[in-house]
A = this chain, B = another copy of it.
Amino acid sequence: MAISRIQHEGLRQRLMSAEAAAALIPPGAHVGMSGFTGAGYPKAVPQALAARIAAAHARGQDFRIGLWTGASTAPELDGALAKVNAVELRMPYQSDPTGRARINAGEMEYTDIHLSHVAQYVWFGFFGKLDVAVVEVAGILPDGRLIPSTSVGNNKTWLDQADKIILEVNGRMPEGLAGMHDIYYGTALPPERLPIPMTQADQRIGEPYLRCDPAKVIAVVETAQGDRNSKFAEPDAVSAAIAGHLIEFLQHEVKRGRLSPRLLPLQSGVGNIANAVLAGLNNGPFEQLQAYTEVLQDGMLDMLASGKLSHASATALSLSPEAWERFERDIDFYRERVVLRPQEISNHPELIRRLGLIAMNAMIECDLYGNVNSTHVMGSSIMNGIGGSGDFARNAYLSIFMTPSTAKGGKISCLVPMASHVDHTEHDVQIIVTEQGLADLRGLSPKERAALLIERCAHPDYRDALRDYFERARRGAPGQHTPHLLEEALSWHTRYLRQGDMRAAT
C-alpha cells in the first residue's frame, strides 16, 4: 500500500528516513514547507530537523533556518522548530504558541504579509533564494507529478522555486483526495501576466496534480499520520448573538435588493465566531450558497452536507477529527463540491473583486473611526498575523469584521478610542459586529462611524467612557475630521498594561 503511493521508479530510489532527509537541510537555508492551518504539513522531517538543530545547538553550533509556509501549521512543525529556537525568520503567518512566545520575546524574526503576496514576492526574488522545499503529498504518479494533500498553500511555488525538494508521502491521506485540487499554472511575472480565466467560484482552471521535477527531489519520506486540527467550541451566547446580527443584516440587504437570496460567495475566517456564523447560516433562510474562502472548516462541511452550500473553494481542509471522519467517509460526495487551490488563487485580489465576496473575519480590536487591528495585542505583541484578511477585506463586495465586545472577561474593550495597531484601515472596513449589535459604516464619515459604533457595538461597561472620549475630542481635538485627544488616545491600553483592566478604577 505505502509503496503504491510512490509510483515513480526513480523517486522510489530516494526513499529514506526523516532523519536522513533532515540531514540534507543546511544551516541558514531558506526552507519552504507545506502546511496551511493544521492541514497538509510535513509530519516527520520538521521534527527530525528540530532534533538535528537541537543537537547542533547543544554542541554550541549555530544552526537556524528561514521558515516559509502557506500559513500556520501544527505543533509538529512550527511548535517543534520554535521549541529548539531553530527559526531565524518566519514568514508569512504563524499561530503556534511557542513560536508566538519566541517572537514576542524578540528571539525570532517574523514577517507578517498578505497571504496573496507570498508566492509572487518569492517569484520576484524579494525574499532571496528558496533552497529547499519540504512538501507533504498524498502520492506520486508514475510521471513524477504529485497528488496534493489536504492543503495546497504555496506548494506550487515551493516546488517550482526550490533548488532541492524533499517529499513526504503520507499514506494516511485518503486516495480519494486525488482530483479535488485545481493547480493553476497560468501565472507569470509582469509584464507577461494574463487575466485569470475564472468567473465562478467553483470553476476549475488548472490541473489536479502538482508538477515536480524529479531531478530536484533529494529525498522521499513515508509517513502515515493524520492532520491535526482542533475542534471548535459549540457556539456560545456571544458568538450566537454575533451570528444572529449578521444574518439579520444579510436578510435586510436581500430585502433592499443589494444581495440576491443566494447571496454572493462567502469567505469566512476560522475560529469560534466564524464557526457560529456558519452554523447560523446552516439554519438560516439562504439556499444554494457558495464559498470562496481560504479554509474549509467544520461549519462549511456541515453546510455542504445539508445542501445549504452548493460548493466551496478553499486552499486547505481545516477539519476537526470528527468532521474529518465524515469527510473521509463521504469523500466522493465532497470531491464533487470542493476545489482546493493555491493560496495565490484563493486569495487573489483580481478574483475576490470579480466574484464579489462577502468577507467575514474576526479581529482583535477596532477603534471609534473603524480602523481594525487583527494582529497585535497592546500594540507590541503579535497574536497571529494578518493572514488573508487584508486580501479579502480590501477586495470584497462586503467587508465584515466581528469580535466579542470585550476580551479577558470584560477587562478589555474591543472597541477603543484608537487602535494600538492598524491592519485594516478605515478605508477597508464596512461592517462591524459584536454581540451587542451591528454597525453598517458604509458611506459614513469618521464622526458618523464613531457615533454608530458606540451605540451599536460597544459593551455597556465601556459605552459611557467611549462617549465621553468622543465628546471631549469633538471639543478639544486639533481637527474635527477624526477627532482624537492624542494625550489619551492610547490610555486604555496603557491602563490595561498597568492595572490589568481597561476600566478606570472607580
Do residues B376 and A482 form an inter-chain contact, with CB atoms below 8 A? yes
CB of A494, distance to nearest CB on chain B (Å): 5
Find residues 126-160 in chain A having any chain B CB closer than 8 Å to their own CB.
126-128
CB of A90, distance to nearest CB on chain B (Å): 9
Contacts of A487 in B (CB 8 A): 490, 494
Segment of A15-23, A37-45, A471-479 in the binding face: A471-479
Find residues 84-132 in chain A having any chain B CB closer than 8 Å to their own CB.
89, 91, 103-106, 109-114, 117, 121, 124-128
Do residues A427 and B258 form an inter-chain contact, with CB atoms below 8 A? no
CB of A50, distance to nearest CB on chain B (Å): 21
Contacts of A484 in B (CB 8 A): 379-380, 420
Find residues 395-427 in chain A having any chain B CB closer than 8 Å to their own CB.
395, 397, 418, 420-427
Partner of A349 from B191, B353, B493 at Cβ < 8 Å: B353
Do residues A423 and B423 form an inter-chain contact, with CB atoms below 8 A? no
Partner of A478 from B265, B428, B486, B497 at Cβ < 8 Å: B497
Partner of A481 from B110, B126, B265 at Cβ < 8 Å: B110
Do residues B445 and A125 form an inter-chain contact, with CB atoms below 8 A? no
Q: Which residue of B lies closest to A200 (CB)?
A: B191
Do residues B494 and A121 form an inter-chain contact, with CB atoms below 8 A? no
Do residues B193 and A258 form an inter-chain contact, with CB atoms below 8 A? no
Do residues A422 and B371 form an inter-chain contact, with CB atoms below 8 A? yes
Which secondary structure dominates chain A's binding surface? Answer: loop
Do residues A189 and B356 form an inter-chain contact, with CB atoms below 8 A? yes
Q: Which residue of B lies closest to A474 (CB)?
A: B106
Q: Which residue of B lies closest to A198 (CB)?
A: B195
Contacts of A109 in B (CB 8 A): 445, 447-448
Contacts of A114 in B (CB 8 A): 394, 427-428
Do residues B190 and A356 form an inter-chain contact, with CB atoms below 8 A? yes
Contacts of A478 in B (CB 8 A): 378, 380-381, 497
CB of A414, distance to nearest CB on chain B (Å): 17
Find residues 169-212 in chain A having any chain B CB closer than 8 Å to their own CB.
189-191, 193-197, 199-200
Do residues A376 and B481 form an inter-chain contact, with CB atoms below 8 A? yes
CB of A496, distance to nearest CB on chain B (Å): 10
Do residues B443 and A126 form an inter-chain contact, with CB atoms below 8 A? yes
Do residues B479 and A382 form an inter-chain contact, with CB atoms below 8 A? yes
Cβ proximity bits A339-361 to B, threshold 8 Å, 1 near / 0 not: 00000000001100111100000
With an 8 A cutoff between CB atoms, is A489 at the interface?
yes
Do residues B195 and A482 form an inter-chain contact, with CB atoms below 8 A? no
Partner of A377 from B91, B103, B479 at Cβ < 8 Å: B479
Bound-state CA distance A482–B421 (Å) is 9
Contacts of A105 in B (CB 8 A): 480
Do residues B121 and A442 form an inter-chain contact, with CB atoms below 8 A? yes
Do residues B126 and A442 form an inter-chain contact, with CB atoms below 8 A? yes
Q: Which residue of B lies closest to A110 (CB)?
A: B445
Q: A445-B110, A486-B494, A497-B478 in contact; A194/B199 too (CB < 8 A)? A: yes
Contacts of A421 in B (CB 8 A): 482
Do residues B427 and A386 form an inter-chain contact, with CB atoms below 8 A? yes
Contacts of A483 in B (CB 8 A): 106, 380
Q: Which residue of B lies closest to A493 (CB)?
A: B486
CB of A187, distance to nearest CB on chain B (Å): 10
Extra A-B contacts (15), CB below 8 Å, given A106-B447, A195-B197, A486-B494: A103-B480, A111-B445, A127-B443, A193-B199, A195-B354, A349-B395, A350-B353, A376-B482, A379-B418, A379-B486, A379-B489, A380-B477, A380-B480, A486-B497, A489-B490
What are the nearest 7 A-B pairs in CB distance? A190-B356, A381-B479, A106-B480, A195-B195, A380-B479, A109-B445, A422-B422
A-B contact pairs, 21 of them (CB 8 A): A104-B480, A109-B447, A114-B394, A114-B428, A125-B257, A127-B443, A190-B355, A190-B397, A349-B349, A349-B353, A349-B395, A350-B354, A377-B479, A380-B479, A380-B482, A381-B478, A386-B427, A420-B486, A422-B425, A423-B427, A489-B490
